[in-house]
Amino acid sequence: MIGIISFIGFTSLVAIISYFATRTTDETSSDGYFLGGRSLTAGVIAGSLLLTNLSTEQIVGLNGSAYKDGLSVMAWETLAAIAIVVTAVFLLPRYLKGGLTTVPQFLAKRFDVTTKTITSGLFLTGYVVVLLPVILYSGSVAISGMFNVPELLNVSDKTALVLCIWGIGIIGSIYAVFGGLKAVAVSDSINAIGLIIGGILIPIFGLMAIGDGSVFDGLETLMTTNPERFDSTGEAGQEVPFTTIFTGMMLVQLFYWGTNQQIIQRALAAKNLAEGQKGLLLASFLKILGPLILVLPGMIAYHYFDGGLASSDLAYPELVRAVLPKPLIGFFAAVLFGAILSSFNSVLNSSVTLFGIDIYKQHINKEAPEKTVVKYGKIFGVCLALAAMFIAPMIANAGSLFNYLQEINGIYSIPILTIIVIGYLTKRVPAIAAKIGIISGSLLYIISQFWLQPKFVSSALENAKANGISDPAQLALVEADAYPHYLHVMAILFIANIGIMLLIGKFKPRATPYVQEYTEQVEITPFKYVKQMGLIIVAIVIGIYVYFAQ
Who wins on pLDDT, 194 or 186? 194
Q: How many other CB atoms are there within 10 angstroms of residue 345's CB atom?
A: 29
In a domain, residue 164? The reply is yes
Cross-strand bridge partners of residue 241: 234
Per DSSP, the three-state class of 523 is strand
The C-alpha atoms of residue 273 and residue 135 are separated, in whole angstroms, by: 31
The C-alpha atoms of residue 63 and residue 430 are separated, in whole angstroms, by: 44
Give the pLDDT band (50/70/90) at residue 529: very high
The C-alpha atoms of residue 420 and residue 44 are separated, in whole angstroms, by: 26
Give the pLDDT band (50/70/90) at residue 401: low
The C-alpha atoms of residue 435 and residue 413 are separated, in whole angstroms, by: 15
In a domain, residue 498? The reply is yes
Who wins on pLDDT, 284 or 404? 284
In a domain, residue 318? The reply is yes
pTM of the model: 0.82
- Mean pLDDT of the chain, nearest integer: 83
The amino acid at 11:
T
In a domain, residue 16? The reply is no
Give the pLDDT band (50/70/90) at residue 156: confident
Give the model confidence (pLDDT) of 349-372 as tens digits.
777 777 887 788 877 887 778 778
Residues of the domain holding 115: 28-548
Task: Residue 83: name the closest of 541, 516, 445 by CA.
Answer: 541
Give the model confidence (pLDDT) of 63-106 as tens digits.
888 998 999 999 999 999 999 999 999 999 999 998 887 788 88
Give the model confidence (pLDDT) of 212-265 as tens digits.
999 999 999 999 998 989 999 888 778 888 999 999 999 999 999 998 877 887
Judge whether 262 and 405 are in contact, CB under 8 Å.
Answer: no
Give the model confidence (pLDDT) of 23-69 as tens digits.
555 444 444 444 445 667 888 888 878 777 776 777 877 888 899 89
In a domain, residue 2? The reply is no
In a domain, residue 121? The reply is yes
Tell me what the mean pLDDT of segment 446-460 comes to. Answer: 90
Tell me what the mean pLDDT of segment 520-529 comes to. Answer: 88
In a domain, residue 436? The reply is yes
What pLDDT shows up at residue 27?
47
What pLDDT shows up at residue 399?
44
Give the pLDDT band (50/70/90) at residue 397: low
What pLDDT shows up at residue 305?
92
Give the model confidence (pLDDT) of 470-497 as tens digits.
887 787 788 878 889 899 999 999 999 9
What pLDDT shows up at residue 402?
62
Q: 508: which DSSP letter?
A: S
Give the pLDDT band (50/70/90) at residue 16: low
Task: Indicate the number of domains in the chain.
Answer: 1
In a domain, residue 522? The reply is yes
Report the CATH number at residue 225: 1.20.1730.10
The C-alpha atoms of residue 112 and residue 443 are separated, in whole angstroms, by: 21
Task: Residue 132: name the closest of 388, 402, 486 by CA.
Answer: 388
Per DSSP, the three-state class of 241 is strand
